[in-house]
Amino acid sequence: MGKARKCGPREKNGQVLRSHVALEKLINEHASERENLQTVIEARMRVFGIADPRLARDQLQGTFIGRLLIAHQRSKERADGISQDQYNAAQNYLRDRNAWQRAIGAKADYEEARPETAGVGDYEEFCRRAKAQWGLIRDEITECMMEQRDPAIADSLDKLVVRDMEYWPYVPALRVVLNRLAKFYFETGRRAA
């Protein structure tokens, strides 16, 4: 019987055109990407109860703090969710936490390139700055916990921002600590030297 013949246009010598094979491969890759994206959108719609597929496409829907930001933007009274400044503070907190973890050699749950390969400079200097910055952040969180007398403040950052868990009773404490961190990052502009 022999080998099955590949479909597609052929050269004069009988071989399948290479350009056709490359085009077919590209089309198949795009189709699989579309299928994967469609699966993600359907899963977000089902799990998070999103009715509109266009809303489910938004990358912010992928994290709990992103969904809180969208809830804030969509609510009329602005009472739901977190503001853009609070969201930015949460992103900066994650960035600084990841830098601190890299500096102490903790388990890798970050995606950034190593500082010495990314052109940032000396790795020891990066570690010193990351540890100093993390110390300032921890002091700010501790002060906030003492002022509010609420131990859920540190837990809210850990569970809702770092672990990306959906736990609604912690959202008020998260708003408080993100307000404090937004002041720390954007108004005072404190950074480790």
Mean pLDDT, the chain, whole residue set: 82
Cβ 162 vs Cβ 97: under 8 Å: yes
pLDDT at 131: 92
Domain range for 49 is 18-57
Within a domain: residue 142?
Answer: yes
Domain boundary among 57, 74, 109: 57
The more confidently predicted of residues 85 and 41 is 85
52/90 same-domain check: no
Within a domain: residue 110?
Answer: yes
Three-state DSSP state, 111: coil
Confidence band for 1, pLDDT divided at 50, 70 and 90: low
Number of H helices, E strands in the chain: 7, 0
Confidence band for 193, pLDDT divided at 50, 70 and 90: very low
- The tens digit of pLDDT for each residue in 91-107 reads 999 999 988 988 888 77
Within a domain: residue 148?
Answer: yes
Which residues 6+ apart lie within 8 Å of 96 measured at CB?
130, 133, 134, 137
Within a domain: residue 183?
Answer: yes
Within a domain: residue 66?
Answer: no
- The tens digit of pLDDT for each residue in 24-47 reads 776 777 777 778 878 888 888 888
- Segment 54-83 mean pLDDT: 83
Is the pLDDT at 119 greater than 90, yes or no?
no
37/94 same-domain check: no
117/50 same-domain check: no
Radius of gyration of the chain from its Cα atoms, rounded to whole angstroms: 24
Check the CA dihedral 169-171-172-173 and report its sign.
positive
Is the pLDDT at 9 greater than 80, yes or no?
no
91/164 same-domain check: yes
End-to-end CA distance of the chain: give it in Å, rounded. Answer: 75
Check the CA dihedral 127-191-101-149 and report its sign.
positive
Count of structural domains, the chain: 2
Within a domain: residue 114?
Answer: yes
Three-state DSSP state, 10: strand
Give pTM, 2 decimals. Answer: 0.73
52/102 same-domain check: no
90/173 same-domain check: yes
Q: What percent of the chain has pLDDT over 70?
A: 81
- The tens digit of pLDDT for each residue in 133-182 reads 999 999 999 999 999 998 889 899 999 999 999 898 999 999 999 999 99
92/181 same-domain check: yes
Within a domain: residue 71?
Answer: no
52/99 same-domain check: no
Which residues 6+ apart lie within 8 Å of 48 measured at CB?
56, 61, 67
Within a domain: residue 27?
Answer: yes
92/170 same-domain check: yes
- Segment 44-64 mean pLDDT: 82
Cβ 184 vs Cβ 140: under 8 Å: yes
107/183 same-domain check: yes
132/175 same-domain check: yes
